[in-house]
Chains A and B, each alone.
Chain A
Amino acid sequence: MLAYIIRRVFQSALVLLIVGLVAFAMFRFVGDPVDNMLGQERTQADVERLRQQLGLDQPFPVQYWRFLEQAVQGNFGLSYRQGRPVSDILIERLPATLELAFVSGLFALAFGIGLGVFTAIRRKGFAANAIMTLSLIGVSLPTFLIGILLIYVFSVELGWLPSFGRGEVTRIGGWTTGFLTESGIKALILPAFTLGLYQMTLIMRLVRTEMLEVLRQDYIRFARARGLRERAINFRHALKNTLVPVITITGLQLGSIIAFAIITETVFQWPGVGLLFINAIQFVDIPVMAAYLMMISVMFVGINLIVDLLYFAIDPRLRVDRSAGKAT
């Protein structure tokens, strides 16, 4: 168990080091950093001085080590485009993305589990079949088309909800939140739905499959024989046993929610880190790209690690299987 944890942590650190190498290589080799920082009027002496200042005359491993040192402290230099520290820009944009991801994750989880249970219980019903068919089409629809469709229906035709931006935001310390104003909540609905829809269908299908599996078990039949009410059987006995894999998958999906937020944020002009990243790619703003890459990999690797360990802690069978497999 301990060896497994240590190995997992070691692997995660290795992944981060590799991603760091990619980010560093971007800094170093995509465009000349000296060129990017000095204007047209410069002397050879300026160039040499800046090269020394930036440590570009040092050997490659030393430069990489320095980059990592700086990165760990959250220092990624100045954005080529905005001329401000990248870390400041990221921190300013992060609340918007996190709020969006949180709400859509919650939406996906609540409706995914609800609809999954429903379609499993009423397996042969018309409504359940309609939901399953719709979910197939939903998976094939590209995210940005769903966003555009929603904007067309609810903003252009009906005029109920805003089509872009975050609405009015309230500042609490370093955090900006859209939860406290009416326009902020209204602005959140369409993007959160767009972002959560795909994850919702995934969770729904997973819950449905697991539920169907569990409902076939003997203890469910026994619970029925004891004369328990359907409600109690479905929710207290069956659902509880389907939740372990659901939690794992949801945890892993958290990472892709943040990645897919890039698309949603662009469609709805949501001022988060995803939109920042896309703009950075368009203008080849390397420091922002590198910092976003590092930030998102820390999140991904961290989530993966936590989910792995959680799974290990929740399901004791895994531990037994592993040691048994090794003995043979």
Chain B
Amino acid sequence: MTDAPLSPVREARALKRFKRAWDSDFAYSFRRSPIAVISFFVVVVLVLSAVFAPLIAPHDPFNPATLNLMNGFTAPMEPNAFTGEVFLMGTDDQGRDVFSTILFGMRISLFVGFSAVLLAMVIGVTLGLLAAYIGGWTETIIMRTADVQLTFPAILVAMLIFGIAKGITPPEYRDQMAIWVLILAIGLSDWVQFARVVRGATLVEKNKEYVQAARLIGRSRGAIMLRHILPNVLNPVLVIATISLALAIIAEATLSFLGVGAPPTRPSLGTLIRIGQEFMFSGEWWILFFPAITLLALALSINLLGDWLRDALNPRLR
């Protein structure tokens, strides 16, 4: 407040706005739930440290010039026998700092997770709106496709899309494309949830008076769907998006762990766990342990946050 002097009126208004947000049901329920507060805190810390990874990371794990093979297999917080360097979470076989690789790996995990959910959301919401508002054959085709896809577990669909995409891309581009292919695979495997929920909500909304009014004054179909119905069906979409985010991050980690995801040259958390697993038997536990615990914290806190959000936005469920 010392840097940017606000006029007393604006200050009072800002304070009032803040107070209203603070007193809302939503914020109250948030404050009352220690689990929500803690998991929100964890998510924020993890996301921020992933976003600012280049600033935080003590080493650049992808620059071979800064690596020193002598640092290989240094245990956490113990000085290396040859170089005397100390690493917070130890190093892997090539002397890469595990803490730094986790920060950069989490970046990829979060990027893939967010993008995949965004893709699934855009596809699902669009198709759900179209299916419910237009009806007829459009609806039949969209919803039958959803039913067929729902017969198969999402992770299997994602694997299949990944495999096909890998077959289509020429070998020399595969590593570069892997991240985008992952986003496509997870996004396409996950749109069904969004489409079903949006369709259900739209079917209810489209017969309400405000939609009829909009139709009477001659607004186009597209405008009615986007400007009138969409804002009213967004609450459940938000809840599903949060839960989908945790699922997408786990799906990405699983695919990468299985070796059909992010390549070792651009490792995500799953790839790091895959690499770390090889050293589990020889006693270098930290190469596996820290990426695994990070993934766990990320997935669990997003999951818990999603659970809380569902209850908070949907009091009828309780």
Q: Which positions in A face B, CB cutoff 8 Å? A: 15, 18, 26, 29-31, 137, 140-145, 148, 151-152, 156, 163, 255-256, 259-260, 262-263, 266, 277-278, 280-282, 284, 286, 289, 293, 296-297, 300-301, 304
Contacts and interface: CB of A to CB of B under 8 A. Distances in A.
B173 interface: no
B163 A256 contact: no
B273 A148 contact: yes
B259 A278 contact: yes
A12 to B, nearest CB: 10
Interface string B291-304: 01001100110010
> 5 tightest A-B contacts by CB?
A30-B167, A281-B163, A259-B153, A284-B167, A259-B156
Given A140-B300, A152-B280, A262-B159, A281 B153 contact: no
Given A30-B167, A151-B280, A301-B151, 13 more contacts: A26-B164, A26-B167, A142-B253, A144-B257, A148-B277, A259-B152, A262-B156, A263-B258, A266-B258, A278-B259, A280-B163, A281-B159, A304-B151
11 contacts: A140-B303, A142-B250, A152-B285, A260-B153, A262-B155, A262-B159, A263-B155, A278-B259, A278-B260, A281-B260, A296-B156
Describe A's contact surface by its main secondary structure. helix
Describe B's contact surface by its main secondary structure. helix
B98 to A, nearest CB: 16
A273 B303 CA distance: 31
Nearest to B151: A300
| Residue with the greatest number of chain B CB neighbours at <10 A, chosen from A255, A263, A281, A282 | A281
B37 to A, nearest CB: 18
Interface residues of B, number: 34
Nearest to A23: B160
A148 B288 contact: yes
Contacts of B273: 144-145, 148
A163 B280 CA distance: 11
Given A278-B259, A289-B160, A15 B254 contact: no
| Residue with the greatest number of chain B CB neighbours at <10 A, chosen from A259, A260, A301 | A259
B137 interface: no
| Residue with the greatest number of chain B CB neighbours at <10 A, chosen from A31, A142, A148, A260 | A142
Contacts of B280: 148, 151-152, 156
B216 interface: no
B167 A259 contact: no
Nearest to A22: B160
Interface in B212-249: 246
Given A148-B273, A148-B277, A297-B152, A281 B162 contact: yes
Contacts of B303: 140
A286 B273 CA distance: 28
B250 A284 contact: no
A158 to B, nearest CB: 13
